[in-house]
């Protein structure tokens, strides 16, 4: 019994990181109808930049974390300006935007490779003090709790922001129909840029949390989560924020339970994607996606 | 008659001069040909980059020593270092470059058994001797009669590790955890399985992971549920570090030793896993604390040059260069690859940092292994 409970904890934990990653992914899709394939590269850079701040500048992780998140947000602005904005006026901007985001992903990854080297790097010992709670054979680390708490907090803040804040409402208006939004006097380009800022900041935050927990960062670490993030937002319903969170948790749990049952990690992705396939056959718009895909 | 007597000193001088000149000439001819090109195919990037880095340092030290000792007209080594990027495809192109473009005397490497499985065949087909310095998986030297290795195979190191661990901890039932998509870790797993069966130790559960995995907690949770006496792990150092620290985080008691293969034998494990690495055991081909004169000299020189202690991979690379050099010297040619291969086979009880070194008839390494345990953040030999 406590074995199963421990596996559920493992699954919820990794699922919340997937969720945080996917929320940023799906946000851009909800607003622009464009997949930003450079999101995984920003995820990687988030982790590596935080490590760099901690290691080279001797900053505490509690300062390095927001600083790195901010830098990732700025990278999001850059991404928008370089890869998406110039194409926005063209007729086929969705497709060309997808391609140019792949180019940005390669540039970001190469930059990470050049700046940080190909080696797997780690946060110095004692970056976060880890306390381990044990209860009835169940073992949870303070780091896990912090990571889940930060993920939930960020996801909650985002939802509130979109529902209540003026800019959040503007984002939703642009998501609904950018032409109407423009007619209503909303600065559409600014809102899109801001969406990229938030999306990339969240992606970077997921990268830092991922790097902190597994304590192993490399320029190619984004690849392991890239396809999963895509699967998570499809599973949850494209463009749906609660869907991305739910999809992330479902994905994390299915992965962990598959490994636990089969005793090998080779079937992990196979089962996760089979689940995705089944859901899509039964519910083509994903778990929480309504007929109307754009919700943001 | 008289005249001839008078001419004698002149003749002698002339003859001597001629001898000297020809001697001069012959040494000059020899000096021009006395540079042995050695191709090093090592993983500078990719998953095995941490091994490749230390191997490069070990090899470079040996080359510097040999070239300094060779003086002006002895046989020198001209190294050609190439990155195999930890992937077989890149290994193949590096091997092709060594064989066709650089025309080296011998190839040392590649770092990973996975790469060796395919790249060594290229060398075999071309009749180019290749000396593996870290390939320990099964079936490498079976590729052909030009393939050698100075790294003890898991088949020799692992039974010894299990025997010592059983005596020390009274192991009865263990869990096995291994990477199942890599020749090296899978070879280690098979060796462990056989050694455990031979030692009469029960395997409670077998779990596996894939290259690049970062989350090992599902498998470790299952293992914890079985309450094993020890966890046997066959993994490369990056994954090994993650496994060791996550196992301790999940609350697997420090009294349950984690026993690993060759991949654990790297200072990176202690650096990465920190306190969690305490008590981790592994078989090793090289005894870091050995006081053999060759070894003490190597450790001191390596530490002075690189500002850190060498590991087994550096030691095997260092020994590999000396072994290759010895064979090329013995063969008396830098271009006759068959003679170099024959010379390798004839090496007997060569004094190296690994101990007295010979090749078996199957071209595998033959010397005595040790068992190490991490204590106080250091590898120490388990007696």
Give one DSSP letter per residue of B35-95, joined into a string. Answer: EEEEEEEE-SSSTTHHHHHHHHHHHHHHHHHHHHHHTTTS-EEEEEEEE-TTSHHHHHHHH
Please check whether residues B111 and B188 belong to one and the same domain: no
Based on the fold, state whether residues B227 and B274 are members of the same structural domain.
Answer: yes
Is residue B20 one of the residues assigned to a domain?
A: no
Instruction: Please check whether residues B115 and B183 belong to one and the same domain.
Output: no
Nearest CA-CA distance, residue B105 and chain A, Å:
31
What residues in B contact A215, CB-CB < 8 Å? 242, 245, 272
Backbone angles phi and psi of B378, in degrees to 5: -140, 155
Name which residue leads in pLDDT, A252 or B292: A252
> Same domain for B258 and B299?
no
Q: Which residue has the higher pLDDT, A206 or B263?
A: A206
Whether the pTM exceeds 0.80: the reply is no
Q: Answer yes or no: do B270 and B159 share one domain.
A: yes
- Per-residue model confidence as pLDDT tens digits over A213-240: 888 888 888 888 888 888 898 888 888 8
The number of C-beta contacts closer than 8 angstroms across A and B is: 80
| B45, B51, B215, B275, best to mutate vs chain A, most A CBs in 10 Å | B215
Task: Please tell me whether residues B296 and B279 are part of one structural domain.
Answer: no
Read off the pLDDT band of B31 (50, 70, 90).
Answer: very low
Q: Would A235 be classed as within a structural domain?
A: no
User: How many other CB atoms are found less than 10 A from the CB of residue B46?
Assistant: 20
Q: Which of B382, B320, B301, B267 is nearest to B152 (CA)?
A: B320
- What domain range is B56 assigned to? 35-151+290-367
Tell me if A258 is assigned to some domain: no
Are B248 and A37 spatial neighbours (Cβ–Cβ below 8 Å)?
no
Mean pLDDT of A105-130: 83
pLDDT at A230: 87
Q: Is the pLDDT of residue B372 over 60?
A: yes
Q: B234 in helix, strand or coil?
A: strand
Instruction: Looking at the structure, tell me whether residues B143 and B163 fall in a common domain.
Output: no
A263 touching B (Cβ < 8 Å): yes
Residues B48 and B82 in one domain: yes
Q: What is residue B199's three-state secondary structure?
A: coil
Instruction: Give me the residue from B207, B224, B249 closest to A141, CB to CB.
Output: B249
pLDDT surpassing 50 at residue B28:
no
Residue in B83, B111, B181, B218 to test binding to A, most A beta-carbons within 10 Å: B218
Is B20's pLDDT higher than 70? no
Weakest mean pLDDT among A28-32, B112-116, B305-309: A28-32
User: For residue range A192-205, what is the model confidence (pLDDT) as tens digits?
Assistant: 999 999 999 999 99
Looking at residue B369, its pLDDT comes to 87
Whether B136 and B63 map to the same domain: the answer is yes
Q: Which residues of A touch B239 (CB under 8 A)?
A: none
Residue A192, in any domain of the structure = yes
| Structural domains of chain A, count | 1
Of the candidates B49, B209, B251, which has its C-beta nearest A139's C-beta?
B251
Q: How far apart are CA B225 and CA A263, in angstroms?
A: 13
Q: Which domain holds residue A173?
A: 12-123+137-221
For residue A120, give the nearest of B218, B221, B238 by CB distance. Answer: B238
Give CA angle at B22 (B20, B25), nearest 5°. Answer: 110
For residue A292, pLDDT over 60 is answered with: no
A30-34, B318-322, B350-354, range with the lowest pLDDT: A30-34
How large a percentage of chain B has pLDDT more than 70? 91
Give Cα separations from A110 to A106, A118, B48, B90 (angstroms): 6, 10, 19, 19
How far is the first Cα of chain B from the last one, in angstroms, to the nearest whole number? 82
Q: Which of A49, A78, A77, A75 is nearest to A63 (CA)?
A: A49
How many Å lie between the alpha carbon of B268 and the closest alpha carbon of chain A? 11
- A90 or B328, higher pLDDT: B328
Tell me which of B284, B310, B328 is where a domain ends: B284
Q: Is B179 part of a structural domain of the chain?
A: yes
Percent of chain B with pLDDT over 90: 58
Domain boundary among B284, B300, B325: B284
**Residue B10: inside a domain, yes or no?**
no
On whether both B144 and B203 belong to a single domain, the answer is no
Share of chain A above pLDDT 90, in %: 29
State the nearest Cα–Cα gap between A113 and chain B, in angstroms.
Answer: 10
B132 and B44 in a single domain? The answer is: yes
What's the whole-number mean pLDDT along residues B299-324?
Answer: 93
Instruction: Judge whether A286 lies within some domain.
Output: no
Among A14-28, A41-55, B257-271, the range scoring the smallest mean pLDDT is B257-271
Q: What is the rounded average pLDDT for all residues in chain B?
A: 88
User: Which residues does chain B have within 8 Å of residue A10's beta carbon, measured at their own beta carbons?
Assistant: 215, 217-218, 221
Task: Look at chain B and report how many structural domains it folds into.
Answer: 2
CATH classification at residue B207: 3.40.50.2300
Q: Is the pLDDT score of A264 beyond 70?
A: yes
Q: Supply the pLDDT for residue B262.
A: 77
Question: Does residue B258 share a domain with residue B294?
Answer: no
A119 reaches B (C-beta below 8 A): yes
- Asked if A219 and A136 touch (Cβ cutoff 8 Å), the reply is no
| B interface residues, A as partner, C-beta within 8 Å | 45-46, 49-50, 180-181, 205-210, 212-215, 217-219, 221-222, 224-225, 238, 241-242, 245, 249-251, 272, 274
């Amino acid at each position: 019994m406590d074995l199963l409970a421990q596996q559920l904890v493992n699954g919820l934990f990794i699922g919340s990181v997937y969720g945080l990653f996917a929320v940023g992914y799906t946000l851009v899709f909800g607003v622009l109808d464009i997949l930003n394939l450079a999101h995984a590269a920003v995820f990687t850079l988030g982790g590596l930049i935080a490590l760099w701040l901690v290691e080279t500048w001797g900053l505490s992780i509690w300062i390095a974390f927001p600083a790195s998140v901010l830098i990732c947000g700025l990278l999001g602005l850059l991404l928008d300006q370089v890869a998406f904005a110039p194409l926005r006026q063209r007729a086929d901007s969705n497709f060309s935007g997808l391609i140019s985001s792949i180019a940005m992903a390669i540039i970001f990854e190469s930059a990470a490779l050049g700046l940080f080297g190909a080696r797997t790097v780690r946060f110095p010992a004692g970056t976060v003090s880890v306390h381990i709670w044990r209860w009835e054979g169940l073992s949870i680390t303070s780091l896990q709790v912090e990571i889940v708490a930060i993920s939930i907090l960020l996801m909650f803040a985002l939802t509130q922001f979109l529902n209540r804040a003026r800019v959040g409402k503007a984002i939703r208006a642009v998501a609904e129909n950018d032409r109407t939004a423009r007619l209503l006097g909303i600065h559409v380009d600014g809102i899109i840029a801001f969406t990229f800022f938030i999306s990339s900041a969240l992606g970077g935050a997921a990268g830092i949390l991922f790097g902190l927990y597994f304590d192993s960062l490399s320029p190619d670490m984004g690849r392991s989560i890239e396809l999963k993030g895509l699967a998570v937002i499809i599973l949850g319903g494209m463009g749906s924020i609660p869907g991305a969170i739910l999809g992330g948790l479902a994905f994390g749990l299915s992965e962990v339970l598959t490994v636990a049952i089969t005793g090998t990690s080779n079937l992990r992705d196979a089962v996760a994607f089979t689940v995705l396939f089944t859901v899509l056959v039964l519910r083509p718009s994903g778990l929480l996606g309504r007929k109307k895909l754009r919700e943001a | 008659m008289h005249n001839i007597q008078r001419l004698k000193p002149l003749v002698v001088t002339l003859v001597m001069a001629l001898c000297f000149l020809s001697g001069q000439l012959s040494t000059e001819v020899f000096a021009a040909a006395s540079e042995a090109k050695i191709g090093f195919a090592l993983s500078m990037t990719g998953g095995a980059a941490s091994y490749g880095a230390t191997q490069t340092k070990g090899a470079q030290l040996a080359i510097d020593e040999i070239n300094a000792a060779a003086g002006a007209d002895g046989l020198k080594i001209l190294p050609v270092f190439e990155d195999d990027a930890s992937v077989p495809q890149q290994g193949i192109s590096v091997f092709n470059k060594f064989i066709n473009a650089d025309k080296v005397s011998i190839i040392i490497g590649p770092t990973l058994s996975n790469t060796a499985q395919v790249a060594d065949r290229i060398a075999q087909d071309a009749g180019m001797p290749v000396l593996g310095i870290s390939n320990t998986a099964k079936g490498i030297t079976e590729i052909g009669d030009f393939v050698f290795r100075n790294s003890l195979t898991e088949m020799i190191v692992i039974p010894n590790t299990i025997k010592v661990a059983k005596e020390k901890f009274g192991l009865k039932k263990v869990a096995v955890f291994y990477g199942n998509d890599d020749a090296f870790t899978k070879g280690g797993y098979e060796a462990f399985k056989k050694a455990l069966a031979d030692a009469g130790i029960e395997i409670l559960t077998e779990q596996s992971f894939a290259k690049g995995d970062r989350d090992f907690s599902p498998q470790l949770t299952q293992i914890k549920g079985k309450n094993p006496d020890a966890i046997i792990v066959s993994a490369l150092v990056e994954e090994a570090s993650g496994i060791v620290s996550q196992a301790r985080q999940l609350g697997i008691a420090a009294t349950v030793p984690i026993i690993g293969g060759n991949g654990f034998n790297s200072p990176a494990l202690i650096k990465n896993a920190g306190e969690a690495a305490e008590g981790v055991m592994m078989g090793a081909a090289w005894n870091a604390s050995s006081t053999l004169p060759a070894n003490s000299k190597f450790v001191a020189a390596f530490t002075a040059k690189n500002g850190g202690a060498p590991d087994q991979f550096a030691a095997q690379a260092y020994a590999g260069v000396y072994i290759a050099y010895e064979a090329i010297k013995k063969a008396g040619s830098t271009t006759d690859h068959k003679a170099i291969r024959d010379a390798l086979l004839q090496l007997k009880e060569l004094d190296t940092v690994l101990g007295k070194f010979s090749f078996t008839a199957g071209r595998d390494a033959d010397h005595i292994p040790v068992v190490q345990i991490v204590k106080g953040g250091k590898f120490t030999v388990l007696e």
